[in-house]
Amino acid sequence: MALQERFSPRESKDSRFLRLLISQRTTVRLGLSADALHHFYSEQLNEQVTVLESEHKPSGFASYILGCVRMLERQGYTVPHLNLYVQSSVPIGSGLSSSAALEVATLRGLRALLNLPLDDVQIAQIAQQAEIHYAGVQCGIMDQMASSLADTEHMLFLDTRTLECRVVPFPRGAEVAVIDSGAPRTLAASGYNERRADCEEAARLLGVRALRDIAEVEAVGGLPEPLRRRACHVVAENNRVLEAVGGVPAERFGELMNASHASLRDDYEVSVPALDVLVGMLQETPGVFGARLTGAGFGGACVALVAAGKGGEIAKDVLERYSCAGYAGKLLVPAVS
């Protein structure tokens, strides 16, 4: 239930996105607790958390799980005390939305255990609210919708204003490679919230509900800095999404990815030197159509569109050069057995 983004303005509930699932998964096993306490264990982290009382707000992975429980309770469902065991192959802190994968897996598990009348869209909506209210990230619904609804064979187009979503064919002759830059994403949550606030203020000054309602980049030219650059990124990124979802060859899709990274680096300012070096090496490598950072930025991973069957070979070459430049990255997709 993990996911990987293509283009994402990450502005608000009024954006458009194009997503693709990756093969890494998060699985939860759950049952009833023998005492009046919740017990959560993460195999990936080798960490156990016990929720001691109803007001207890744990940090880390447990906050996402408990957030899902509490959001169900807000909706009137009775959730018994649980033993919950998490197994995940989704890398944490790489921009691959491990939190959304955990939330969706938890809610699917609770749906099955308690026979809850929730569809996959409702699962995504509850997961988003859990992240906002219990993890403190003012996120949109993109990650949760993709984790809940997407598949590994297609891209998922999502309009977060209407929740319209549909599958879109992947570019012919291409596959995805995802490489972790090795740069930790310590500022991702706070930086995400700041960028969203910038976008909301820019929309207010322009007199529109959201920046997606601006069709031309030139229309934001009168905004003060840095709001002009933030808005420029969002408007251009939405236009890239609409072009990509209309169906373009791999070469053009790669050009859109390259433009997306430049905009994320210069206008949205969410890249870091390690990501720029890694993305630059990918973009200059034969067989790579395009590359960009993924997730909220400030570290983490980058995604590249590469010639089909070449992902592992290209990643090996790029990682060797990346290491010689003094960095330590690793291949995430294609998965190494």
Q: What backbone phi and psi angles, to 5 degrees, belong to 78?
A: -95, 120
Q: Which residue has the tokens 């509490």?
A: 70
Question: Following DSSP, what letter does each residue of 61-87 receive, concatenated?
Answer: HHHHHHHHHHHHHHTT-----EEEEEE
Angle at the Cα of 161 from the Cα atoms of 210 and 170, rounded to 5 degrees: 110
Q: What backbone phi and psi angles, to 5 degrees, belong to 257?
A: -65, -45
Q: How far apart are CA 297 and CA 278, in angstroms?
A: 13
3-class state of residue 36 by DSSP = coil
Catalytic residue among 14, 119, 143, 213: 143
Report whether 238 contacts 15 (CB < 8 A): yes
Q: By CB neighbour count within 10 A (0-12 exposed, 13-18 middle, 19+ buried), where does 307 fall? A: middle
Is 151 annotated as catalytic?
no
Within 13 Å, how many C-alpha atoms sit on residue 222's CB side?
A: 5
- Residue 337, amino acid: S
Residues 6+ apart with CB under 8 A from 235: 211, 212, 214, 215, 216, 217, 219, 220
Q: Report the candidate in 105, 66, 272, 249 with the shortest Cα–Cα distance to residue 186.
A: 272
Q: How far apart are CA 180 and CA 155, in angstroms?
A: 21
Helix axes 273-283, 311-324, angle to 10 degrees: 130
Residues 6+ apart with CB under 8 A from 58: 40, 49, 51, 66
- Which sequence positions are flagged as catalytic? 143
